[in-house]
Amino acid sequence: MIKQEKILITGANGQLGSVLAKRLQEKHGVNNVVATDIVADEDFVGNFEILDVLDFERLKSIVIQNEITQIYHLAAILSASGEKHPKRTWDINTKTLFNVLDVSVIQNVNKLFFPSSIAVYGTNAPKINTPQSYELTPTTVYGISKVAGENWAKYYFDNYDLDIRSVRYPGVIGHQTLPGGGTTDYAVDIFYKAINETNFECFLSKNTTLPMIYMDDAIRATIELMDAPKKSISIRTSYNIAGMSFSPEELTYAIQKIYPNFKTLYKPDFRQKIASSWPSSIDDSVAKKDWNWNPLFGIDEMTKIMIEELKLKQKTKLQKT
Ligand code: AKB
């Protein structure tokens, strides 16, 4: 008989965590998922625990009490926020990872998911179709913490046989929850302005092309990687995955197909330097070969869905007030 998986998610209130929690509830059953975050989410339906992942004893007791078999460790500080408090970001991003790695080894957790990012690359890497394996010289503390995390992931796999798996996410675009503190956040914020038919002020320059992925693809990649047979996983640091690549100007053109009068004004700030250090597009051929990764959403499909879903959400909210 296949043993029922019991899932723990950290950072479950976040942009990815909130959607992943629902998807994992559908897959494993509501009672088999424990969502955690540093603050409560009043609207969450299911098991929710307040957890600061820096608190190892509390993490351990939640893992023991719920007989956790898989952990998705999403709690982290992202690139733009990270630059405001570099040492705090390093501490939070690395100490929480160690706590999750150690609890997984001590409590025999079967599988662990750790999100990495395109932020692991630095200015020296080829911009176009950036290869899976290249010297990693990130310019942000967030990127530095992800490179360290990737190497620790491989270390725990090599030395403790911990089945830890990871993808390097591009900027994630979804309508469910707003992202917070990232450099790619503009690509979500822009849609809130578009549906209200107001101009958007972009903190990146118009031709800054970055790798992006639609939420459904990002969630599917995560689950497909976690479900892949152990023997097919050849990368124990982190897999490149690609969805689409576009600049703020190209996204504006895509929105103008629906709102012809929509305009973006460009006012690059400190986030421009971060974005300029990242790849424009990513080579994800290793993920495709190892576990059949295949993105389904391009810029036009994503734009149409984002606008439809956000308009629906706005209408529902108005009807309730
Ligand atoms: C960020 O912008 O910091 C994140 C990322 C690309 O990892 N969205």
C-alpha triplet 178, 119, 133: angle, nearest 5°: 135
* CA-nearest residue, atom 4 of ligand 1: 182
Tens of pLDDT, residues 213-247: 999 999 999 999 999 999 999 999 999 999 999 99
Would you say the CB of residue 93 lies under 6 angstroms from ligand 1? no
Site of tokens 């790619």: 184
Which pLDDT does position 28 carry in this prediction? 97
Rounded to whole angstroms, the Cα distance separating 114 from 73 reads 6
* CA-nearest residue, atom 7 of ligand 1: 117
CA of 88 to the centre of ligand 1 (A): 17
Which pLDDT does position 318 carry in this prediction? 84
Rounded to whole angstroms, the Cα distance separating 243 from 297 reads 7
Q: Tokens at residue 286, please?
A: 């290793």
Would you say the CB of residue 182 lies under 6 angstroms from ligand 1? yes
Given a cut of 80, whether residue 203 has pLDDT beyond it is yes
CA of 160 to the centre of ligand 1 (A): 29
Tell which one of 16, 78, 89 to mutate to probe ligand 1, the residue whose CB is within 8 A of the most ligand atoms. Answer: 78
Task: Return the percentage of the chain with pLDDT > 90, whole number.
Answer: 96
Mark out the alpha helices in 107-246 (DSSP H runs): 141-160, 186-195, 215-227
Given a cut of 70, whether residue 69 has pLDDT beyond it is yes
Would you say the CB of residue 14 lies under 6 angstroms from ligand 1? no
CA of 171 to the centre of ligand 1 (A): 5
Active-site residue set:
142
Residue 165 pLDDT level (bands cut at 50, 70, 90): very high
Phi, psi values for residue 203, rounded to 5°? -85, 0
Which pLDDT does position 320 carry in this prediction? 82
Mark out the alpha helices in the chain (DSSP H runs): 15-28, 56-65, 79-84, 86-106, 141-160, 186-195, 215-227, 248-256, 271-276, 285-291, 299-320
**Ligand 1 atom nearest to CA at 181:** 3
What would you measure as the largest C-alpha separation in the chain, in angstroms? Answer: 59
Rounded to whole angstroms, the Cα distance separating 131 from 6 reads 35
More confident residue, 44 or 317: 44
Tens of pLDDT, residues 36-52: 999 999 999 999 999 99
Which pLDDT does position 100 carry in this prediction? 98
Would you say the CB of residue 118 lies under 6 angstroms from ligand 1? yes
Tell which one of 77, 116, 117 to mutate to probe ligand 1, the residue whose CB is within 8 A of the most ligand atoms. Answer: 117
Given a cut of 90, whether residue 3 has pLDDT beyond it is no
Rounded mean pLDDT, 256-282: 98
Which has the minimum average pLDDT: 54-58, 115-119, 175-179?
A: 175-179
Which pLDDT does position 1 carry in this prediction? 67
Which pLDDT does position 319 carry in this prediction? 86
Rounded to whole angstroms, the Cα distance separating 305 from 177 reads 15
CA of 246 to the centre of ligand 1 (A): 15
Rounded mean pLDDT, 154-162: 98
Given a cut of 90, whether residue 2 has pLDDT beyond it is no
Which has the minimum average pLDDT: 66-75, 186-195, 309-318?
A: 309-318
Across the chain, mean pLDDT equals: 97
* CA-nearest residue, atom 1 of ligand 1: 182
Rounded mean pLDDT, 186-195: 98
Would you say the CB of residue 171 lies under 6 angstroms from ligand 1? yes
What's the burial of 74, exposed, middle or buried (CB within 10 Å: 0-12/13-18/19+)?
A: buried
